[in-house]
Structure 1
């Protein structure tokens, strides 16, 4: 009751009266007990306010300029949103005809002037309570009608479903009786308690009993469990079970029978299909694996041919460049010697003015700087030529030409050489940890393995933005040595892991990677009879792991 009063006292009441004093008196009475009050001094203003902010009740004066209260009430009731709002007329007219006209106009009550505070509050509260009850009843009726319609539709649908099922079951019963003994699958009809009602000859043969009568009334789950098929945990959908004693596979299905007080159980022997499926799956997996290897080999062969051609074309001009750089260095040294002799001679025969002009020209043309800079330029050019020759050698190695001889090598030494070469990339932002194990020597091409390790280290350095860790771990395994390079860099997205060994595939910015490093590394490790694996997680880092055989090393002719 307290909650209902609180709700009522928060109701909004519209006072419509042309006299400000009357509106003020009613406003004081209503707001004192907590009602929200709106005011209008004419019928037109009341319509405007009620249309924009629908009140819970309207106190309407009958006698007003322009439209009277009866006209205003009838017009208010034409709006659907206001049709249910209770209207109480307020007037000094106390004739019965005025009250009747008020009720005909749509009013629910009548308060005569002068009015008492208690009467106003009592009538307002009464009609607000009645409005609350009417709205609750209306909502309940609407909800009940919706439920009745929904339930009726559900019952109709259920009736149609049961009717169809009844027809299907009746037809299935006739066909069952005629055909169940002619099929090879095990078929059973069981009751709600699990007791066997009917079965076919396939079940008799499976259980090894003498006759159909020996099985009637037995619990079908226990019966099959005694024969080696535990179906107790099966759900109401098709599943596969293996019968160990016979080596047979069964697909088990069951179907609700009629009103669900029973079920039809079917066990289909799918042993032959299962074997074929397993063979097909195995063949398909092997085909996919072979296809991937062939595609990779074809890619590597194509790149190898390209690399051999590029290496050949670069070698010839690089020979000229290296030779010319060496000659240019000698020429520069001789020219410097000549200039020194010339300076001494000129100092002995030239007058001071000529010497000053020569000195000024020498300074303006920066002759001394040129003589000092030429050896440095030649040295830098020689260094660049050496780097080009190194790249050419790598390309030759990639194309399987111009290889050094195989030798027994210490993998830890190969890794140390790679670290020394890559140290300029690592030293400023990498904390390097070496966890070297005792390894047997491996028959290999050390230069090529060093190239693989160098590629791992450079990639690790590029993957680390500012500061990070690189951990090198080597250990001996049965018949293999394992080498891993782990970094705490940015990691490789999962979608790129399957492609990182493809030639020319790179995630680096243009100009920082060719996409050949890992492709070459993959080919080198494969040619050594080893494996290369990668694990990576974005934001945590990447680990490359190489495993090389030690017991049966590859021969030179195999590469």
Structure 2
């Protein structure tokens, strides 16, 4: 027997115990009602015994009720089969006493014994040995009731016929229970297989979503790379010419004598230098093809951080970005992908803080070396993430943004990027106070 089958049977037994507990409680209440309603039959068949039988029925119902109450205790839950078997014998004992007190083998109550046997086999999740034992006990009760009857056995053939009939009912009920039990286990096994298949399908869909997201991101990177390659030639030359012209103009006597003109040229120079920085940052993505990575290239994390802040300047308007970095930030990996991760973290933080109306929004980037890896913490003072959403932020297509403002793939892609670098991206948050994302990168060899 394989380990998986043993585990499956163990789980099945636990589920079967819960099912038996439910059946015992529901069946017990039903039996109590039927036992009490049986007083109508006493009135029709044996009106002279009605009062005594009524008392017996009430006592039997009370005993069954006490047994059902015990099922709500821990000990009762553990021994549900024994308790159920015990209270099921109470109606059989009651009916057998009625047979003894009336006509023996001539009593019509023997039919109640056979009906109860079939009801136990069909309605209760009993084992076939338990059902057989219940049937044999019923045969014994009937035998004692008839033989101990004050008038003795008046019709031996009828007594033997009914005794054999009760035994056959017990045997048939046991056979039915045996196949019912096997069918129940097969159904449970099928449900377990379906659950496993659904779980595998869900994981496959999640992996597919991540792959699609990564391909989409790589296509975007390729498009940026193509644009960057063109910008290198089309923008750098005119920017250099402009910078050269500004430098020459700033040396003119008229400029030196005019503070306002000098300020204008200084602003123009800074603007051109900013264009140079942006083009330089975009070089990171140049000449990249979809599906390719540069995971073994050393780069300065500090430089990647600068690039991401400049490229995300539009989203970070009004947000104070501070840093706390070690003197050495040389790491190894795919610089463009890490820039993409930082841009995504900054954009999410800025959007959340702007949407929540955070006063003095800020993002603080802190890094330190530990065990040969640079551990990075990106923390904002925004509205935080709700606890029920914190565990789901890395799920593909999960987003709290409004429709049309994002696919919910950014963090799942960022998680995959960090994972490709041998690290882990995880989130922390205090609702209403702050959110932090942490990841680590390998030191350059």
Structure richer in strand, relative to its length: 1
Higher relative contact order (CA 8 A, sep 6+): 2
TM-score grouping bracket, smaller chain normalisation: 0.3 to 0.5
Specify the structure having the higher radius of gyration (Cα). 1
TM-score by length of 2: 0.45
Structure richer in helix, relative to its length: 2
